[in-house]
Amino acid sequence: MVNLEGKGGMKREGQRSLLEKAIEIILFVGALSSIIIVFLIIAYMSLEAYPALNLDFLLGWFWDPKKEMFGIFQIIVSTLYVGVGAILITTAIGVPTAIFLAEFCPRNVRNVIKPSIELLVGIPTIVLGFFGLMVVIPFIRDNFGGWGTSVLAGWMILAIMSLPHVISISEDALRAVPNSYKEAALALGATRWQTVKKVLLPYAKTGILASVLLALGRVMGETMAVTMVIGNPRVAWIPTSILDRAKVLTSTILLDWSYVEIPSMHYHSLFGIGLVLFFIVALIDVTATYMVKRGVIK
């Protein structure tokens, strides 16, 4: 009988382990597919971009497909100019907001502010672009002069777009500071602002910086809204003032894609732009992730 039960049990065990295996395989395939997809995209982009990748491409001065000129140096600089400027605005508004929300904000006020900030995330970028086109651009043109479509308009739209991310991640970083630290500072007679300045901010520094970097990666990859407000001169240049128009990496791909001949140097160059953008954003993201990890270990 014992033997028999053992036999039957083993059989079921066998079946069960088969089921377990099947589930394991499914889960593994799921995990594997995301990795495969990422590497496929990178491989495909690299393969298509390969013929265009050389120093003339990266450091070339002019992007004018009509004249077979595919230099993206000015576009890269414009992209950094637009992205970093937007992030400076976001940081200037977002970090104080996060400090306020984490430390000074009464609960009922927070209940109003927090959901409205989170609502910002839900606004589709095309709607923000439309807002920029109809509100921001005429405002800039009427009050500061110039074309209206400008780097400044790009900064404003991108700042609105990245604000909620910076605020919520920074706030989380500030809230992650152990209460004992805060209590110790307060017990030593520090005021609330002194506590924020000397205890909270130094502790949450890496988290805040990471949120800013993540937002930077996001705004550099942003396409639709930026294309609508940035002006896009036919031949890209490095903007000389914030009221100047500019052409960024993403808007170049978007504008050129509809008529590019496949395959041609122009086509390969567009993939090259995609690859360059990918590496810039990946570098920023990796730095941010590294900072978060280091912050956690500390």
Partner 1 sequence: MEQTYIKNIRHHPCDKQKGEKQMSWSSLQKTFFALILLAILVLGVHNTWTMSNLTSTVYTMQSTIDNLNSMLGNYTQRLEGYLTIAGSTTVLPIIQTCANLFMQENPGVVISVSGGGSGHGISAVSAGYINIGMSSKNLTTEQITDPDPDLQPVAIALDSVAIIVHPTNGFVDDLTLEEVEMIFNGTITDWSHFGGSGEIHVYTREAGSGTLECFEKFFMKHSDITGAASEKTSNGEMKATIASDPAGIGFLSVGYIDETVNPLKIDGVEPTVANIKTGAYKIKRWLFLITKGPPTKIEQAFIDFVLSSQGQEIVEQQGYLPLEWFQ
Q: Does 107 bind partner 1 (CB under 8 A)?
A: no
Residue 51 touching partner 1 (CB under 8 A):
no
**57's tokens:** 């491409």
141 binds partner 1 (CB under 8 A): yes
Our CB check for partner 1 shows the closer of 181 and 237 to be 237
Which CB sits closer to partner 1, 40 or 296? 40
3-state secondary structure of 1: coil
Compute the distance between CA of residue 64 and CA of residue 71 in angstroms, rounded to an integer: 8
Determine if 149 is a binding residue for partner 1 (CB under 8 A): yes
* C-beta closer to partner 1: residue 69 or 80: 69
Peptide bond into 263 cis (omega under 30): yes
Please give the Cα distance from 220 to 280 (Å, whole number). Answer: 9
Residues 6+ apart with CB under 8 A from 248: 75, 78, 79, 82, 154, 226, 230
Return the number of the residue (187 or 261) whose C-beta is nearest partner 1: 261
Output the six-digit token pair for 278. 């990918």
Nearest Cα neighbor of 85 from 243, 191, 228, 232 is 243
Residues 6+ apart with CB under 8 A from 247: 63, 75, 78, 230, 231, 232, 233, 236, 237
Containing 293, the helix (H) or strand (E) segment is helix 265-297
Q: Is residue 25 near partner 1 by the rule CB under 8 A?
A: yes
Token pair of 80, please?
A: 């950094």
52-60, 136-144, 157-165, 184-192 -> range binding partner 1 (CB under 8 A): 136-144
Q: Please, which of residues 65-84 interact with partner 1 by CB under 8 A?
A: 65-66
Binding-site member from 9, 10, 13, 29 for partner 1 (CB under 8 A): 29
Residue 262 touches partner 1, criterion: CB under 8 A: yes
Interface with partner 1, residue 207, by CB under 8 A: no
DSSP string, 144-160: H-S-S-SHHHHHHHHHH
* 243, 230 Cβ separation under 8 angstroms: no
Site stretch for partner 1 (CB under 8 A), options 50-58, 102-110, 116-124, 252-260: 252-260
* Using rule CB under 8 A, residue 60 touches partner 1: no
Out of 10, 31, 36, 119, point to the residue binding partner 1 (CB under 8 A).
36
Q: What is the dihedral of CA 283, 289, 294, 295, to 10 degrees?
A: 130
**Residue of 88, 133, 176, 190 interacting with partner 1 (CB under 8 A):** 133
Binding of partner 1 by 143 (CB under 8 A):
no
- Report the interface residues with partner 1, using CB under 8 A: 1, 4, 8, 12, 15-16, 18-19, 22-23, 25-26, 29, 33, 36, 40, 44, 64-66, 133-134, 137-138, 141, 147-149, 231-235, 237, 245, 254-256, 258-262
